Amino acid sequence: MSTAHPATASPPCVAVVTSTGLAVPGLTLPDELLGTVRDGGFDPVTGLVGRDLRHKDRASRLALRAAAPALRDAGLLDGDGYTGPGDTTAVVVSTNVGILENVCSFADTIARDTVLGLSPLGLPQTSSNVIAGSVAMAHGLRGPNVTLCNGPTSGLDALYWARALIVTGRAETAVVIGVEPAGDIVTKLLGTPALDGAVALVLESAAGAAERGATVRATVAGCARAADLAGAVARAGGLTPDLWLTEAADDPAGPRANAVLDPAAALGAASGALGLLQAAAAVAHLDEHGRHTVLATCGGPEDDGVAAVFLTGPHHTP
């Protein structure tokens, strides 16, 4: 006689952050988004040159300069190239104006010289996915390749989709990048000086990170998008944050938090990079406060939605 044993449910897949990288003028490490002051920092004049960046648009160059230190910090990049599983590593990019200058330049050329004046070398730069493609090709990342260009929530939406790719088993690792290049056309469109930089996070499955002995910096505990702030926070898990990273500190529907900060306030209009700058700042905070919970939110009443992401420290207890 045999005895039936109940099926044991597999533990849910969890997405964790194992590193961050910046290519933001004047900044070196993400803790500077929280107020730490250092001399030097990234300089686009000297940092965006090199044979590996030839024939690439400015947004792609910035993204590559942010992705490399993030991959290196995660232990996934050495002198021979990417050391992780290329077939299961995704690239998710958030940018709202990343190719605007390129498209306008091509339009001007067509108006002046017709299509005969166009250079085939520059044509890929008019595709919004050129940034994600450039990062993937540079490091041999052959997993899902996604670009989001959907307004103020775009950066946190990119984090949402990277997490989704990991927890559903579509990817083992994801390089998530928020990038916006500055320029006269961008400034004219936004009506204000804009960020000229990029930020990258490496997400992995918790099991994969543990298997290779990677340091877990934060856990992506919940992500959601809703019509308003209260709805987004509730759907993301409704945790009580120790730190709230937001542009909407005066929103009466905001959660109670011990501290509220806009880490990108001094960087110019961050647009599609905002949410990932917030996430990088959250990781820097959790490096020092491993039991804390950080909430990042983007979007507001004048936008088409609000995105919310909860990140918890490696020593957080639910």
Q: Which two tokens stand for residue 201?
A: 């996070």
The rounded mean pLDDT for the chain is 89
- Please check whether residue 33 is in contact with residue 263, taking contact to mean a CB–CB distance below 8 angstroms: yes
| Residue 22 to residues 8, 69, 300, Cα–Cα distance (Å) | 42, 8, 26
* Placement of tokens 């919310």 in the chain: 308
Rounded mean pLDDT of 209-214? 95
* Lookup: tokens for 311: 């990140």
> 211 pLDDT band (50/70/90 cuts)?
very high
pLDDT band of residue 253 (cuts 50, 70, 90) is confident
pLDDT digits (tens, 9 = 90+) for 42-91: 999 999 888 888 878 889 999 999 999 999 999 999 988 999 999 999 99
Given phi > 0 = left and psi -120 to 50 = alpha, else beta, which region is 143? beta
At 2, the pLDDT band (50, 70, 90 cuts) reads very low
How much is the pTM?
A: 0.90
pLDDT in tens, 286-305: 999 999 999 999 998 888 89
